[in-house]
Protein backbone atom coordinates (compact mmCIF):
# COMPACT_ATOMS: atom_id res chain seq x y z
CA UNK A 1 0.00 0.00 0.00
CA UNK A 2 1.37 3.38 -1.05
CA UNK A 3 2.14 5.68 1.87
CA UNK A 4 0.45 9.11 1.70
CA UNK A 5 2.44 12.16 2.73
CA UNK A 6 0.31 14.04 5.27
CA UNK A 7 1.60 17.46 4.17
CA UNK A 8 0.69 16.73 0.54
CA UNK A 9 -2.78 15.61 1.57
CA UNK A 10 -3.43 18.77 3.59
CA UNK A 11 -2.22 20.92 0.70
CA UNK A 12 -4.54 19.16 -1.76
CA UNK A 13 -7.52 19.62 0.57
CA UNK A 14 -6.75 23.33 1.00
CA UNK A 15 -6.49 23.79 -2.77
CA UNK A 16 -9.83 22.04 -3.27
CA UNK A 17 -11.51 24.21 -0.64
CA UNK A 18 -10.10 27.35 -2.25
CA UNK A 19 -11.49 26.34 -5.63
CA UNK A 20 -14.92 25.70 -4.12
CA UNK A 21 -14.96 29.08 -2.39
CA UNK A 22 -14.28 30.72 -5.75
CA UNK A 23 -17.15 28.91 -7.46
CA UNK A 24 -20.25 31.10 -7.59
CA UNK A 25 -23.61 29.77 -8.64
CA UNK A 26 -25.41 32.31 -10.82
CA UNK A 27 -29.20 32.31 -10.84
CA UNK A 28 -31.06 34.14 -13.63
CA UNK A 29 -33.15 37.20 -12.78
CA UNK A 30 -36.09 35.92 -14.82
CA UNK A 31 -38.08 32.94 -13.64
CA UNK A 32 -37.25 29.73 -15.49
CA UNK A 33 -39.99 27.41 -16.71
CA UNK A 34 -39.21 23.96 -15.33
CA UNK A 35 -42.19 21.85 -16.41
CA UNK A 36 -41.13 19.23 -18.93
CA UNK A 37 -43.41 19.00 -21.96
CA UNK A 38 -46.33 21.13 -20.63
CA UNK A 39 -49.71 20.49 -22.28
CA UNK A 40 -50.16 24.21 -22.97
CA UNK A 41 -46.78 26.00 -22.90
CA UNK A 42 -48.25 29.34 -24.05
CA UNK A 43 -50.78 29.42 -21.19
CA UNK A 44 -48.13 28.43 -18.67
CA UNK A 45 -45.74 31.13 -19.91
CA UNK A 46 -48.51 33.75 -19.74
CA UNK A 47 -49.44 32.71 -16.19
CA UNK A 48 -45.80 32.90 -15.05
CA UNK A 49 -45.50 36.44 -16.41
CA UNK A 50 -48.58 37.60 -14.49
CA UNK A 51 -47.41 36.63 -11.01
CA UNK A 52 -44.18 36.41 -9.00
CA UNK A 53 -45.53 33.21 -7.39
CA UNK A 54 -43.53 30.02 -7.83
CA UNK A 55 -45.56 28.33 -10.53
CA UNK A 56 -44.27 26.27 -13.42
CA UNK A 57 -41.06 25.33 -11.62
CA UNK A 58 -41.44 21.62 -12.37
CA UNK A 59 -40.48 18.73 -10.13
CA UNK A 60 -38.12 15.81 -9.78
CA UNK A 61 -40.23 12.91 -8.59
CA UNK A 62 -42.19 14.17 -5.59
CA UNK A 63 -39.81 17.06 -4.87
CA UNK A 64 -38.95 20.39 -6.44
CA UNK A 65 -35.87 20.53 -8.65
CA UNK A 66 -32.52 21.38 -7.10
CA UNK A 67 -32.31 24.77 -8.84
CA UNK A 68 -35.76 25.77 -7.61
CA UNK A 69 -34.98 24.61 -4.09
CA UNK A 70 -31.72 26.59 -3.99
CA UNK A 71 -33.48 29.70 -5.30
CA UNK A 72 -36.12 29.27 -2.60
CA UNK A 73 -33.42 29.12 0.07
CA UNK A 74 -31.69 32.19 -1.39
CA UNK A 75 -34.93 34.20 -1.32
CA UNK A 76 -35.69 32.98 2.19
CA UNK A 77 -32.24 34.08 3.37
CA UNK A 78 -32.70 37.48 1.68
CA UNK A 79 -36.01 37.94 3.51
CA UNK A 80 -34.42 37.10 6.86
CA UNK A 81 -31.49 39.43 6.21
CA UNK A 82 -33.87 42.24 5.24
CA UNK A 83 -35.46 42.10 8.69
CA UNK A 84 -32.40 41.56 10.84
CA UNK A 85 -29.60 43.62 9.29
CA UNK A 86 -28.82 47.24 10.20
CA UNK A 87 -29.05 50.15 7.77
CA UNK A 88 -25.75 51.23 6.24
CA UNK A 89 -24.31 54.26 8.09
CA UNK A 90 -22.75 55.31 4.78
CA UNK A 91 -26.20 55.56 3.19
CA UNK A 92 -27.51 57.76 6.01
CA UNK A 93 -24.43 59.96 5.73
CA UNK A 94 -24.71 60.22 1.94
CA UNK A 95 -28.37 61.22 2.13
CA UNK A 96 -27.67 63.46 5.16
CA UNK A 97 -30.33 61.78 7.26
CA UNK A 98 -30.22 62.31 11.04
CA UNK A 99 -30.68 58.96 12.78
CA UNK A 100 -33.34 58.72 15.51
CA UNK A 101 -34.47 55.68 17.50
CA UNK A 102 -37.70 54.31 18.87
CA UNK A 103 -38.07 52.73 22.30
CA UNK A 104 -37.20 49.30 20.84
CA UNK A 105 -34.03 48.17 22.59
CA UNK A 106 -33.14 45.74 19.79
CA UNK A 107 -34.72 43.83 16.90
CA UNK A 108 -36.09 41.14 19.20
CA UNK A 109 -37.87 43.78 21.27
CA UNK A 110 -39.14 45.44 18.09
CA UNK A 111 -40.63 42.18 16.78
CA UNK A 112 -42.15 41.01 20.06
CA UNK A 113 -43.29 44.35 21.53
CA UNK A 114 -45.25 46.29 18.90
CA UNK A 115 -45.67 49.42 21.02
CA UNK A 116 -41.91 49.83 21.39
CA UNK A 117 -41.64 50.80 17.72
CA UNK A 118 -44.51 53.28 17.86
CA UNK A 119 -42.82 55.88 20.06
CA UNK A 120 -39.49 57.68 19.95
CA UNK A 121 -36.88 57.22 22.63
CA UNK A 122 -36.56 60.10 25.09
CA UNK A 123 -33.23 61.11 23.56
CA UNK A 124 -34.74 61.22 20.05
CA UNK A 125 -37.69 63.26 21.30
CA UNK A 126 -35.30 65.84 22.74
CA UNK A 127 -33.27 65.92 19.53
CA UNK A 128 -36.37 66.46 17.39
CA UNK A 129 -37.68 69.16 19.71
CA UNK A 130 -34.38 71.04 19.47
CA UNK A 131 -33.38 70.38 15.86
CA UNK A 132 -36.49 69.46 13.90
CA UNK A 133 -37.86 71.92 11.32
CA UNK A 134 -41.11 73.27 12.74
CA UNK A 135 -44.33 74.34 11.03
CA UNK A 136 -43.59 72.92 7.56
CA UNK A 137 -46.16 71.57 5.11
CA UNK A 138 -44.58 68.10 4.95
CA UNK A 139 -42.32 66.09 7.22
CA UNK A 140 -40.62 63.03 5.68
CA UNK A 141 -39.71 60.00 7.80
CA UNK A 142 -37.71 57.04 6.53
CA UNK A 143 -37.66 53.87 8.59
CA UNK A 144 -36.24 50.38 8.14
CA UNK A 145 -39.41 48.83 9.55
CA UNK A 146 -39.39 45.17 8.57
CA UNK A 147 -37.01 45.54 5.63
CA UNK A 148 -33.71 47.36 5.75
CA UNK A 149 -33.10 46.06 2.22
CA UNK A 150 -36.12 48.03 0.98
CA UNK A 151 -34.65 51.29 2.27
CA UNK A 152 -31.23 50.61 0.80
CA UNK A 153 -32.67 49.63 -2.58
CA UNK A 154 -35.29 52.38 -3.03
CA UNK A 155 -34.55 55.49 -0.93
CA UNK A 156 -31.49 56.70 -2.92
CA UNK A 157 -33.76 57.20 -5.97
CA UNK A 158 -37.10 57.84 -4.29
CA UNK A 159 -36.13 60.57 -1.83
CA UNK A 160 -34.52 62.98 -4.35
CA UNK A 161 -37.48 62.52 -6.71
CA UNK A 162 -39.93 63.23 -3.90
CA UNK A 163 -38.06 66.32 -2.70
CA UNK A 164 -37.79 67.64 -6.25
CA UNK A 165 -41.52 67.10 -6.84
CA UNK A 166 -42.42 68.95 -3.64
CA UNK A 167 -40.05 71.82 -4.46
CA UNK A 168 -41.66 72.21 -7.90
CA UNK A 169 -45.01 72.62 -6.16
CA UNK A 170 -43.65 75.16 -3.64
CA UNK A 171 -44.47 72.82 -0.75
CA UNK A 172 -42.27 73.41 2.30
CA UNK A 173 -40.52 70.34 3.70
CA UNK A 174 -38.89 69.70 7.06
CA UNK A 175 -35.50 68.02 7.04
CA UNK A 176 -36.10 64.28 6.45
CA UNK A 177 -35.11 61.97 9.31
CA UNK A 178 -34.35 58.26 9.59
CA UNK A 179 -35.90 56.30 12.47
CA UNK A 180 -34.35 52.97 13.47
CA UNK A 181 -36.88 50.21 14.19
CA UNK A 182 -39.87 52.44 13.57
CA UNK A 183 -43.48 51.45 12.99
CA UNK A 184 -46.12 53.48 11.15
CA UNK A 185 -47.69 55.05 14.22
CA UNK A 186 -44.47 56.78 15.25
CA UNK A 187 -45.29 59.33 12.53
CA UNK A 188 -48.12 60.70 14.70
CA UNK A 189 -45.67 61.56 17.48
CA UNK A 190 -43.23 63.12 15.03
CA UNK A 191 -46.01 65.26 13.51
CA UNK A 192 -47.04 66.51 16.94
CA UNK A 193 -43.45 67.53 17.79
CA UNK A 194 -42.64 69.37 14.54
CA UNK A 195 -46.19 70.68 14.02
CA UNK A 196 -46.33 69.82 10.30
CA UNK A 197 -49.48 69.62 8.19
CA UNK A 198 -48.71 66.24 6.62
CA UNK A 199 -46.30 63.53 7.67
CA UNK A 200 -45.18 60.79 5.28
CA UNK A 201 -43.42 57.61 6.39
CA UNK A 202 -41.36 55.63 3.87
CA UNK A 203 -41.05 52.29 5.59
CA UNK A 204 -39.79 48.82 4.69
CA UNK A 205 -42.56 46.27 4.17
CA UNK A 206 -42.61 42.75 5.56
CA UNK A 207 -40.34 40.86 3.11
CA UNK A 208 -41.61 37.90 1.14
CA UNK A 209 -40.10 35.26 -1.10
CA UNK A 210 -40.96 37.28 -4.23
CA UNK A 211 -38.98 40.33 -3.06
CA UNK A 212 -37.33 41.55 0.12
CA UNK A 213 -37.01 45.13 -1.16
CA UNK A 214 -40.58 46.44 -1.12
CA UNK A 215 -41.29 49.83 0.46
CA UNK A 216 -44.57 51.48 1.50
CA UNK A 217 -45.50 55.14 1.97
CA UNK A 218 -47.98 56.12 4.71
CA UNK A 219 -49.35 59.68 4.69
CA UNK A 220 -51.67 61.42 7.12
CA UNK A 221 -52.97 64.96 7.48
CA UNK A 222 -52.60 66.45 10.97
CA UNK A 223 -52.89 63.28 13.07
CA UNK A 224 -54.23 63.58 16.62
CA UNK A 225 -55.55 61.41 19.45
CA UNK A 226 -58.68 60.63 17.42
CA UNK A 227 -56.76 59.33 14.41
CA UNK A 228 -57.77 55.91 13.06
CA UNK A 229 -56.12 53.75 10.41
CA UNK A 230 -58.61 54.75 7.71
CA UNK A 231 -57.24 58.30 8.00
CA UNK A 232 -53.95 57.19 6.43
CA UNK A 233 -53.28 57.10 2.70
CA UNK A 234 -51.03 54.18 1.74
CA UNK A 235 -49.03 53.43 -1.40
CA UNK A 236 -47.30 50.05 -1.30
CA UNK A 237 -45.16 47.78 -3.48
CA UNK A 238 -42.50 50.37 -4.29
CA UNK A 239 -39.59 48.36 -5.70
CA UNK A 240 -37.96 47.51 -9.01
CA UNK A 241 -40.59 44.85 -9.76
CA UNK A 242 -43.53 47.07 -8.75
CA UNK A 243 -43.75 50.86 -8.81
CA UNK A 244 -40.24 52.10 -9.58
CA UNK A 245 -38.75 54.34 -6.85
CA UNK A 246 -38.30 57.38 -9.13
CA UNK A 247 -41.87 57.11 -10.39
CA UNK A 248 -43.10 56.64 -6.82
CA UNK A 249 -41.32 59.83 -5.71
CA UNK A 250 -43.04 61.88 -8.43
CA UNK A 251 -46.44 60.34 -7.69
CA UNK A 252 -46.13 60.83 -3.94
CA UNK A 253 -45.37 64.54 -4.45
CA UNK A 254 -48.57 64.84 -6.49
CA UNK A 255 -50.54 62.95 -3.85
CA UNK A 256 -49.17 65.10 -1.02
CA UNK A 257 -50.24 68.19 -2.96
CA UNK A 258 -53.80 66.84 -3.04
CA UNK A 259 -53.70 66.02 0.69
CA UNK A 260 -52.73 69.62 1.43
CA UNK A 261 -55.32 70.95 -0.99
CA UNK A 262 -58.21 68.96 0.47
CA UNK A 263 -56.82 69.02 4.03
CA UNK A 264 -57.60 65.32 4.36
CA UNK A 265 -56.05 61.90 3.84
CA UNK A 266 -57.20 58.29 3.77
CA UNK A 267 -60.86 57.56 3.11
CA UNK A 268 -61.81 61.24 3.56
CA UNK A 269 -59.42 62.23 0.77
CA UNK A 270 -60.89 59.63 -1.57
CA UNK A 271 -64.39 60.92 -0.89
CA UNK A 272 -63.41 64.54 -1.50
CA UNK A 273 -61.53 63.76 -4.70
CA UNK A 274 -64.53 61.82 -6.03
CA UNK A 275 -66.88 64.82 -5.74
Q: Is residue 209 classed as helix, strand or coil in its secondary structure?
A: coil
Taking the C-alpha atoms of residue 68 and residue 78, their distance in angstroms, rounded to an integer, is: 15
Taking the C-alpha atoms of residue 49 and residue 67, their distance in angstroms, rounded to an integer, is: 19
Neighbours of 254 (CB within 10 A): 11
Taking the C-alpha atoms of residue 69 and residue 75, their distance in angstroms, rounded to an integer, is: 10
Counting DSSP H helices and E strands in the chain, the numbers are 10, 6
Give the DSSP letter string of 56-98: S---BTTB--HHHHHHHHHHHHHHHHHHHSPPPHHHHHHTT--
Give the DSSP letter string of 230-250: GG-EEEEEESTTSB-HHHHHH
Q: Is 111 left (phi over 0), alpha (psi -120 to 50) or beta?
A: alpha
> Which residues neighbour 23 within 8 Å (Cβ) at sequence distance 6 or greater?
none
- Cβ(55)–Cβ(32) below 8 Å: no
- Cβ(255)–Cβ(233) below 8 Å: yes
Q: Which of 187, 168, 173 is nearest to 117 (CA)?
A: 187
Query: Does 184 appear as a known binding residue?
Result: yes
Residues annotated within the binding site for adenosylcob(III)alamin are 184, 205
Residues annotated within the binding site are 184, 205
Amino acid sequence: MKQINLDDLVQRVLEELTRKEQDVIQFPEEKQQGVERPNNPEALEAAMKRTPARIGIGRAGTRMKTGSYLQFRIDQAAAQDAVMKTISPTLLETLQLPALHTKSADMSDYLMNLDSGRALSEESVRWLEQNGDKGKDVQIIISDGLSTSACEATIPDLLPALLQGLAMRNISVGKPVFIHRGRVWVQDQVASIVNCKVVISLIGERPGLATAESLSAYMIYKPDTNTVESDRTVISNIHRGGTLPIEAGAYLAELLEDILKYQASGVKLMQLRAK
